[in-house]
């Protein structure tokens, strides 16, 4: 009983220390200190500090295990395969790195993409992901653990999710206390917002970038707290890893200066802050320019100007503080006026110089607007760039999105330097998550941290033992909480957490574990039907076409064709050249003869399209067709007009009432070639040629192709490949000309 008394005593002190402090006191030292004291006093629970660290270690290990396991649904259900589209390019690059070495990878010019332009891969890619996977592969093979590079790539993201949980634990522990840290680690291990981009098989930048982000923020908070250059250099090195991993590093290089600026405004300037930010800016700047893709952007583009501006401001502020300490008020005022006029003169001259040379940074092109660009159709067409709905917030974050404002309130109420940082992080992340679905990922870590803080505060308040305090309150006094309400609230909170865990697992299993390369459907009796059409078609291409054949398809499939079929493609998911994509779009939307001219000029050998009419697959090329038309119209407005493809009533129809331009364009012909004869469903009341995706009987059943011939159609007609015929040797003569020659 005695040791329980001291243990709860420590808890009271810890909760008072964490809850009631005003200046930077959320440190776990109090718990550890009185834990040690409790061990000395009593004889029961020896070394509570040891038990505490064992408990933390076990919880973190279990969080890593939970995060790893819940990402394995796709691997268990299907196989260990790279998912989606972008990861195929990353996989192909990593394969190139592991077979050819680091310098070959850095200087790689890929002539099998974007024919005939090619792509400078070394200079247009963030190498962190490939280098990480390549390094792990190299080390394992060095130890004679022969793992194939594909397996390293597939399982990299789940392993890094465990590391993300640990760095979130460290960051939250710096902000609040150890209990909140453990809760945050558990949250981020299973939260669907993060899982969506880091399942096993999703070999993409975000898998390692979120770990680098959290770790950089942890080191930044640590360096602001201690003012030591060692932690700041650690932060710079972590920032360098983040720059190599993801384009989202711009978020860090804007959030940290914003933090410094707000601290200056709040009159919380301190020498530790000066040391931390100045060192971080300079060493981080030169480190970030080592990545070829980033190059000289940190001193040229407007996204990085905020950091430079705050750096200059901080130098001036620190120098003024130094002078203020040495001089009297009057002397300081004299110098201050002189300094301000000098600074104004310098700024004026700089503005004149910049406008004269025309190099003004385009301020509206700043970070906020960049993410909200909706005027370029190719950016607007990507589904991940759509604005976020309320449903997505709840779907991805469940109960955390409701408790996160409470955590934010607790942080603001007990403000100190590092809690200002997390408040700014929360506000900016909420803004970005509202703009684009894809940026929900940046919101997830901060929501996990702040919800953990909220839950931790609530639990501390309601789990503390009132009866064992120094002066236990009287039985029916208004102070202290009755045991009933405490257990009710604790039960409620635990139920919420359990429902959260169930929801996360359900969402991961149903929504985020599909490889997209292999489709599965379920019959009436529950048995599974696997549709492996994509891989069937890509392997046909790989084995039955010439090695230097060029394949034209819409840009979505470019990476997969390059990765699985190993053929040269015209456009792929990198979408860096809008005119080239518009050319392909024009070829798909024009009639066969005009398209043939374009295909001849681009040396196309095969055309690949996706057609979902037989099985009802809704992601096929006819459904994407209007985007092709819009993109082509953007570059060739005289040849392609979107309104031509609609009926006079303004509908998009593929049946007999559809517009003649649509019924004669290349995409329509390729999709529905020979489809008119096909009895799609077993039910003979539906006519042949019934498109199950559009729920319409197609208009033009008798399609004849002049310049293309069908090369391959997959089992369920999902992928259709056509060969482009070469020009005929001799032009066919007209009968009239023949007669005039003979006579």
For 46, residues 6+ apart whose C-beta sits below 8 A from its C-beta are: 39
195 vs 275, which CB is nearer to another protein?
275
Residue 242 interacts with another protein (CB under 8 A)? no
Tokens, residue 182: 């453990």
242 vs 507, which CB is nearer to another protein?
242
Residue ranges in 436-557 assigned as alpha helix (H): 440-463, 483-510, 533-544
Report the alpha-carbon distance of residue 530 to residue 515 in Å, rounded: 12
Candidates 127-135, 186-194, 278-286, 352-360; binding stretch for another protein (CB under 8 A): 278-286
Contact 616, 680 (CB under 8 A): no
Report the alpha-carbon distance of residue 520 to residue 382 in Å, rounded: 24
219 vs 429, which CB is nearer to another protein?
219
Residue 230 interacts with another protein (CB under 8 A)? yes
Footprint (CB under 8 A) of another protein, residues 319-378: 323, 326-327, 330-331, 334-335, 337-338
Report the alpha-carbon distance of residue 161 to residue 188 in Å, rounded: 8
Tokens, residue 79: 């196989």
One residue of 229, 402, 531, 602 binding another protein per CB under 8 A: 229
Candidates 276-284, 368-376, 499-507, 672-680; binding stretch for another protein (CB under 8 A): 276-284
Tokens, residue 35: 């834990």
Torsion of CA 341, 345, 346, 350, to 10 degrees: 150
Contact 587, 633 (CB under 8 A): no
CB of 291 to another protein, least distance (A): 11
CB of 294 to another protein, least distance (A): 12
Residue 296 interacts with another protein (CB under 8 A)? yes
CB of 343 to another protein, least distance (A): 15
Q: Is the peptide bond before 116 cis (omega within 30 degrees of 0)?
A: yes
Footprint (CB under 8 A) of another protein, residues 304-323: 323
Q: 722: part of which helix (H) or strand (E)?
A: strand 719-724
Candidates 34-42, 268-276, 652-660, 703-711; binding stretch for another protein (CB under 8 A): 268-276
CB of 10 to another protein, least distance (A): 23
Residue 228 interacts with another protein (CB under 8 A)? yes
Residue 491 interacts with another protein (CB under 8 A)? no
Residue ranges in 42-148 assigned as alpha helix (H): 48-70, 73-77, 86-100, 102-106, 128-142
Residue 408 interacts with another protein (CB under 8 A)? no
Report the alpha-carbon distance of residue 647 to residue 657 in Å, rounded: 7
What is the CB neighbour count within 10 angstroms for residue 44? 14
One residue of 54, 117, 299, 374 binding another protein per CB under 8 A: 299
CB of 272 to another protein, least distance (A): 6
For 579, residues 6+ apart whose C-beta sits below 8 A from its C-beta are: 635
341 vs 647, which CB is nearer to another protein?
341
Tokens, residue 527: 């048995």
CB of 320 to another protein, least distance (A): 13
335 vs 501, which CB is nearer to another protein?
335
Report the alpha-carbon distance of residue 628 to residue 584 in Å, rounded: 8
Report the alpha-carbon distance of residue 154 to residue 198 in Å, rounded: 10
CB of 233 to another protein, least distance (A): 5
Footprint (CB under 8 A) of another protein, residues 450-489: none
Report the alpha-carbon distance of residue 508 to residue 501 in Å, rounded: 11
Number of residues that bind another protein (CB under 8 A): 34
CB of 256 to another protein, least distance (A): 16
CB of 338 to another protein, least distance (A): 6
One residue of 44, 227, 405, 676 binding another protein per CB under 8 A: 227
314: closest CA among 188, 393, 436, 224? 224
CB of 347 to another protein, least distance (A): 18
One residue of 42, 226, 505, 574 binding another protein per CB under 8 A: 226
One residue of 184, 285, 622, 662 binding another protein per CB under 8 A: 285
CB of 109 to another protein, least distance (A): 20
Q: What single DSSP character describes residue 743?
A: -
User: Would you give the distance in Å from CA 401 to the centre of its chain?
Assistant: 19
By the criterion CB under 8 A, which residues form the site for another protein?
226-230, 232-233, 236-237, 270-272, 274-275, 278-279, 282-283, 285-287, 289-290, 296, 299, 323, 326-327, 330-331, 334-335, 337-338
């Amino acid at each position: 009983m005695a040791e329980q008394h001291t243990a709860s005593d420590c808890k009271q002190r810890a909760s008072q220390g964490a809850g009631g402090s005003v200046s930077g006191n959320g440190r776990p030292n109090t718990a550890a200190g009185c834990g040690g004291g409790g061990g000395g006093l009593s004889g029961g629970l020896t070394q509570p500090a040891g038990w505490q660290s064992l408990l933390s270690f076990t919880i973190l290990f279990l969080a890593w295990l939970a995060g790893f396991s819940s990402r394995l649904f796709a691997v268990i259900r299907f196989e260990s395969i790279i998912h989606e589209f972008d990861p195929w390019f990353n996989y192909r690059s990593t394969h190139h790195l592991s077979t050819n070495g680091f310098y070959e990878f850095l200087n790689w010019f890929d002539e099998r993409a974007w024919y005939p332009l090619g792509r400078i891969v070394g200079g247009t890619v963030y190498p962190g992901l490939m280098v990480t996977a390549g390094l792990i592969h190299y080390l394992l093979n060095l130890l004679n653990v022969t793992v194939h590079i594909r397996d390293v790539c597939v399982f990299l993201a789940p392993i890094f999710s465990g590391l993300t949980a640990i760095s979130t634990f460290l960051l939250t522990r710096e902000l609040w206390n150890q209990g909140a840290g453990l809760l945050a680690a558990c949250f981020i291990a299973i939260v669907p917002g993060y899982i969506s981009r880091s399942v096993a098989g999703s070999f993409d930048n975000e898998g390692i970038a979120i770990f680098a982000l959290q770790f950089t923020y942890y080191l930044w908070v640590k360096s602001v707290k201690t003012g030591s250059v060692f932690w700041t250099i650690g932060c710079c090195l972590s920032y360098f890893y983040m720059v190599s991993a993801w384009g989202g590093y711009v978020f860090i290089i804007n959030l940290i200066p914003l933090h410094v600026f707000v601290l200056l405004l709040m009159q919380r300037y301190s020498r530790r802050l000066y040391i931390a930010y100045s060192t971080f800016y300079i060493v981080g700047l030169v480190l970030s320019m080592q990545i070829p893709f980033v190059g000289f952007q940190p001193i040229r583009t407007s996204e990085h100007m905020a950091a430079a501006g705050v750096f200059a401001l901080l130098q001036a502020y620190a120098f003024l503080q130094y002078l203020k300490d040495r001089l009297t008020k009057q002397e300081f005022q004299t110098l201050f006026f002189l300094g301000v006029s000098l600074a104004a003169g310098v700024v004026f001259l700089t503005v004149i110089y910049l406008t004269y040379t025309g190099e003004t940074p385009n301020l509206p092109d700043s970070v906020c607007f960049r993410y909200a660009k909706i005027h370029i159709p190719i950016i607007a067409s990507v589904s991940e760039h759509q604005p976020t709905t309320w449903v997505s917030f709840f779907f991805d974050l469940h109960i955390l999105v409701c408790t996160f404002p409470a955590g934010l309130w607790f942080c603001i109420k007990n403000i100190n330097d590092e809690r200002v940082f997390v408040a700014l992080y929360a506000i900016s992340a909420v803004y970005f998550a509202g703009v684009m679905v894809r940026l929900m990922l940046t919101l997830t870590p901060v929501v996990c941290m702040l919800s953990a803080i909220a839950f931790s505060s609530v639990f501390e308040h309601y789990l503390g033992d009132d009866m064992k305090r120094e002066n236990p309150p009287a039985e029916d006094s208004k102070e202290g909480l009755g045991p009933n309400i405490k257990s009710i609230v604790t039960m409620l909170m635990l139920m919420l957490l359990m429902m959260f865990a169930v929801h996360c697992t359900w969402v991961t299993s149903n929504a985020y574990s599909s490889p997209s390369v292999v489709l599965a459907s379920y019959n009436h009796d529950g048995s599974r039907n696997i549709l492996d059409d994509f891989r069937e078609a890509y392997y046909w291409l790989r084995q039955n076409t010439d090695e230097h054949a060029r394949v034209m398809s819409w840009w979505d499939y470019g990476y997969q064709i390059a990765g699985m079929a190993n053929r040269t493609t015209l456009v792929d998911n990198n979408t860096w050249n809008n005119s080239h994509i518009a050319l392909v779009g024009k070829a798909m939307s024009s009639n066969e003869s005009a398209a043939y001219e374009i295909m001849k000029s681009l040396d196309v050998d095969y055309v690949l399209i996706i057609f979902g009419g037989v099985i009802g697959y809704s992601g096929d090329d006819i459904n994407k067709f209007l985007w092709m038309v819009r993109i082509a119209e953007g570059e060739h407005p005289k040849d392609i007009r979107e309104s031509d493809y609609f009926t006079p009533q303004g509908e998009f129809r593929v049946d007999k009432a559809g517009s003649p331009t649509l019924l004669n364009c290349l995409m329509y012909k390729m999709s529905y070639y020979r489809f008119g004869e096909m009895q799609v469903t077993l039910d003979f009341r539906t006519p042949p040629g019934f498109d199950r995706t559009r729920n319409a009987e197609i208009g033009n059943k008798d399609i004849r192709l002049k310049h293309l011939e069908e090369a391959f159609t997959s089992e369920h007609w999902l992928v259709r490949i056509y060969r482009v015929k070469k020009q005929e040797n001799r032009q066919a003569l007209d009968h009239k000309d023949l007669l005039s020659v003979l006579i």
